Amino acid sequence: QAEQPGKPVARPPRPPTAQEVCYQRIRLAQQQAARLAVAVQKASLSLPGEKKRIAHVPHAALAAAARQSPAGGKKTLPAKNVTPPSDSEAATPSLKACTLAGMASKTTSTTVPKRIAHVPSLQSTTLQRPVIPTEFGAKVPTNIRQRYLNLFIDECLKFCSSSQEAFDKALSEEKVAYERSTSRNIYLNVAVNTLKKLRSLVPNSPSSANKTSNKKVVSHEAVLGGKLAAKTSFTLNRSGSLRAEDLTGAALYRRLKEYLMTEEQLKENGYPMPHPEKPGRAVLFTAEEKKTLDSSCRICCRCGTEYMVSASGSCIRKEECVHHWGRLRKQRVPGGWETHYSCCSGAVGSPGCQVAKQHVHDGRKESLDGFVKTFEKLPTTDGYPGIYALDCEMCYTKQGLELTRVTVINSDLKVVYDTFVKPDTKVVDYNTRFSGVTEEDLENTSITLRDVQAVLLNMFSADTILIGHSLESDLFALKLIHGTVVDTAIVFPHRLGLPYKRALRTLMADYLKRIIQDNVEGHDSSEDARACMELMVWKIKEDAKVKR
């Protein structure tokens, strides 16, 4: 049998490999690039009559008319050999140019305003605000002083006639505030008060005056009862808050009795107490045991130097006293605390910043003779023994600190007794920085300590409440023994406790927001006594709020 021819075998399609796929894609990209290059070449060849797209030129008619017009506004005569165009040819472009120019003039403005550079005024270039110079180790940071100086200038510009006058006034006010301050906090208080004073000098605007004058006055009854207030009776339930008229006389005396110092507190704070056996002599329970020193050898209470004196108390050798008049204050610094003097910010052990003619000592607690004690009296017509605030000023004499001025204030904040006192011995340092007493004040004074004691014993009784700040020092200067005492240094204690005490000016700044003792001529005893009375009245009112 013959073999039949076999059918062709159908092989399954083989997918292209990765190399083949890449090769095909490269070939396709090359072909597309060649076709694109040919198309670009054909498009670049332009025919002679073919139109082209050009960029838009704004106001083309105006530009063409400007080119056709004679340059510089001068008329040029046409040349004789130039043949003028025909009427139809000349009228067409000129008419078209005029029409386009007229349309452009109606729609757009052909005059462009010229920009002029700003020329600063003479005042702004010549008068610049003053700048506080940077001072290393200053008691007030320079940036704080500069900020308040700018505020002062802003207020002075409102009422001064010229900028220079405003600058001068602001500089003088800032300088006074800086000189009166011993620390940053005190400077801030003084600066705020100065800013309030400058704002009060600004004349009131008429609008604010009209607003205040147009206010409608409404009675208290009308607010509570409305239209029926005139025909209706009602009762007001008043709150238990203390009014100013309630804290006078016997009412104030009763409330102040809650703040009287006990006998233990008097002894603990070094108040003079009567001697149990010797009348006219005081006892001090906090007296430190002193080393037995020669009577002719003393220790300066300002610089701590030992110096020799004669039998009359005069210094044997003339020697200057270099000391710090400020107190030691602790300041927090990175890594701990540092102690500096408040007068010059000097460290402990640094040379003094003040030089006095000679050394001095206190001596008040060494001489405990010559004291007088207040005694019981019959009740007065007012029904209470009296309330007074007391403050004294002292100077350094050969025997130590002695009384040179005394001021007594009553509960109405009025001065009832104020006099300079002639010391028993010669004055060696008037201590004017703190006492405010000068040599001229004591020239014609004949009142002695005994005269002052007689007046005070007549004015006070044993039950009279005396108010003061660290009153034990004043009683030692007066040589007066009195047990009915309110001490603001005890009522407002220091956070660290005794022997630390807060300063009176600090208490007034913190609680009553007022600055005292800012006079460069020294303290004023009437101001200090009045401050003590105001502090206690404020304290009574605040405690009454808490009790309610």
Q: What's the CA gap between 535 and 517, in Å, rounded? A: 15
Last residue of a domain, one of 312, 332, 356: 356
Q: Which of 407, 426, 410, 427 is nearest to 418 (CA)?
A: 407
**Co-location of 422 and 472 in the same domain:** yes
Residue 529 is predicted with a pLDDT of: 92
- Record the tokens describing residue 421, joined without a space: 């006192």
Which residues, 6+ apart, have CB-to-CB distance to 397 below 8 Å? 313, 423, 424, 425, 426, 427, 428
Confidence at residue 100, expressed as pLDDT on a 0 to 100 scale: 47
* Residues 376 and 467 placed together within one structural domain of the fold: yes
| Structural domain count of the chain | 3
pLDDT of residue 363: 82
Domain range spanning residue 169? 129-199
Query: What pLDDT sits at residue 518?
Result: 72
Radius of gyration in angstroms for the set of CA atoms belonging to the chain, rounded to a whole number: 48
CA distance 109 to 116: 19
DSSP codes of every residue in 135-164 = -TT-SS-HHHHHHHHHHHHHHHTTT-SSHH
User: Residue 90's pLDDT is what?
Assistant: 44
Pairwise CA distance, residues 250 & 527, whole Å: 24
Same domain flag for 277 and 302: no
Q: Which amino acid is at 294?
A: D
Does the residue 398 lie in any domain? yes
Q: Where are the alpha helices (DSSP H) in 45-86?
A: 60-68
Mean pLDDT per block of 10 residues along the chain (548 residues) reads 58 82 91 91 65 65 60 44 46 46 48 65 60 79 89 90 90 88 83 87 57 52 54 50 65 92 91 90 75 71 86 84 83 80 82 86 84 88 86 91 93 93 91 86 91 94 94 93 94 85 90 80 82 93 80
The answer to the question of residue 109 being in a domain is no
Distance separating alpha carbons of residues 264 and 280, to the nearest angstrom: 22
Backbone angles phi, psi at 525, to 5 degrees: -65, -35
Phi-psi region of 370 (alpha: psi -120 to 50; beta: other; left: phi over 0): left
Is 11 within a domain? no
Contact 387, 465 (CB under 8 A): yes
Question: How many Cβ atoms from other residues are within 10 Å of residue 32's Cβ?
Answer: 10
Q: What is the CATH number of the domain that holds 474?
A: 3.30.420.10
CA distances from 436 to 121, 358, 477, 526 (A): 51, 19, 16, 11
Measured in degrees and rounded to the nearest 5, phi and psi for residue 513 equal 55, 45
Domain assignment of residue 429, yes or no: yes
First to last CA, the chain: 137
Same-domain pairing of 316 and 433: no
Bridge-based pairing of strands 372-373 and 465-468 is: unpaired
* Strand pairing class (415-420; 400-410): antiparallel
Burial class (CB in 10 A: 0-12, 13-18, 19+), 260: middle
- Whether 411 is covered by a domain: the verdict is yes
In a shared domain, residues 312 and 280: no
What pLDDT does residue 466 have? Answer: 95
Check whether residue 496 and residue 431 sit in a common domain.
yes
Token pair listed for 324: 């710090």
pLDDT at 474: 93
Domain co-membership, 169 together with 261: no
Question: Residue 351 domain-assigned?
Answer: yes
Burial of 457 (0-12, 13-18, 19+ CB in 10 A): middle
Residues 316 and 443 both lie in one domain: no
374 located within any domain: yes
Phi/psi at 276 (5° precision): -70, -20
Q: Is residue 15 part of a domain?
A: no
pLDDT at residue number 405: 93
269 and 404, same domain (yes or no): yes
Whether residues 494 and 348 share a domain: the answer is: no
Query: Do residues 195 and 302 both lie within one domain?
Result: no
pLDDT of residue 113: 65
Question: 3-state class of 330 per DSSP?
Answer: strand
Indicate if 158 and 195 belong to the same structural domain.
yes
